[in-house]
Amino acid sequence: MKLRSALMAGLTTSSIILSPLATLAESTAPFSDIDVGSPYLVQVNFLREQNLVNGYEDHTFRPQKIINRAEAAALLKKVLIDSGTKSTTKIPTTLAFTDVKKSEWFYATLEDLATKKIINNKAKEFRPEDTINLAEAVKMVITAEQLHNPELTLPTENKNVFKDIKGTEWFAPYLQLANNKTLLTYSTKMNINPDQDMTRGAFTDLVYRALKTREPGHFFGRGTFYSDSFEGLGTSNGEKYHMNEYTAANKILPFGTKLKVTYLRNNQSVIVRVNDRGPFTPSLDLDMSRKAFADLANPSEGIIPIEYEIIKDEPATTSTGSGTGGSTNSDKDAIDAPPAEPMTPEAPPVH
């Protein structure tokens, strides 16, 4: 995999946030290219409403545009550092990068991230206009999250679940921890593609997930629904599955847990009650009743990207539902890992 000397993402002449360039405009109006069906609909709109991301003067966000190292650094700082991490007074680190001038719009951003050891200030160059890959981006985000929560530690035991990387790769522990926190998007075949170049949409999705999962009981994943053949069969908690009740199967959440499930491509939500175990396909997280799934998406979609959170006060959008051993309705590969970018030569010290 390609590596770089400073683990960080950068800015080109079309920046995602904070750039002084005229191509960007601060606005709370919706972006014309982020609409129902976009994989980044919920994520981008939430951060836009919080004034954490900007778009272009033509009111577009351009989610498929590759993000560079300076851009990614600025977005990460604004979303994960400035908006939620307790600040500590430290003497600013003098940047050692030979390719970053004090006059650059992102200089103060890099200075702050270097002081917090989120980027590697020992590298000779930062390469602000270079791309950033998924492995680099995840390392940055996890390091920022460790700053927010010092008890968040990298796993020492290799439990790599991804088919296209080795557990001995320097970035494997970061991906493993990110996966445990449900920050990652991957294919049904459990391929993560760590070399993929990050786009504006993909990096925004990553920092959004990190921000939201700071809230207890908040998760992301892939949801599907029971096959109709399970109608009337028993569930793991002894109830019977009924397709028109609002129930779901999950691998670990206690029976009776109520979840608000949101489809990330249309912002539609439904409340379900966990009464079964499953789904048992590693790449899937929630098996919903047909009724619950249909309230979110057309059943023909099979598998959808979801955000789900534990709720206590709302009644389930159901009577007494049921689930069933988590039989997934489809193996349709509905969501592949978003594009990310290359990195530094050797396991770089958290850039």
- Residue type for 59, please? H
Distance CA 237, CA 243 (A): 16
Spatial separation of the C-alpha atoms in residues 103 and 279, rounded to whole Å: 53
Q: What is the pLDDT of residue 263?
A: 98
Q: DSSP strand E in 167-303: where? A: 218-225, 247-249, 258-263, 269-276, 286-288
Query: What's residue 89's pLDDT?
Result: 57
- So what's the pLDDT on residue 186? 86
- In total, the chain counts a number of residues equal to 351
Beta bridge partners of 269: 262
How much is the pLDDT for 16?
A: 43
Dihedral (Cα; 337, 43, 140, 223), 10-degree rounding? -40
DSSP code for 338: P
195 and 201 Cβ atoms separated by less than 8 Å: no
Walking along the chain (351 residues) 10 residues at a time, the average pLDDT comes out as 45 40 55 97 97 94 98 97 70 88 96 94 94 98 96 93 94 96 92 97 98 97 97 97 98 97 98 97 96 98 98 58 42 35 32 32
Instruction: Quick: pLDDT tens for 172-201.
Output: 999 999 999 999 998 889 999 999 999 999
* Residue 57: predicted pLDDT: 93
pLDDT number for residue 10: 35
Q: Can you give the pLDDT at residue 154?
A: 96
> Where do the domains of the chain lie, and which CATH numbers do they carry?
24-212 (no CATH), 227-311 (2.40.40.10)
Are the CB atoms for 306 and 261 separated by under 8 Å? yes
Report d(CA 125, CA 4) in Å as an integer. Answer: 9
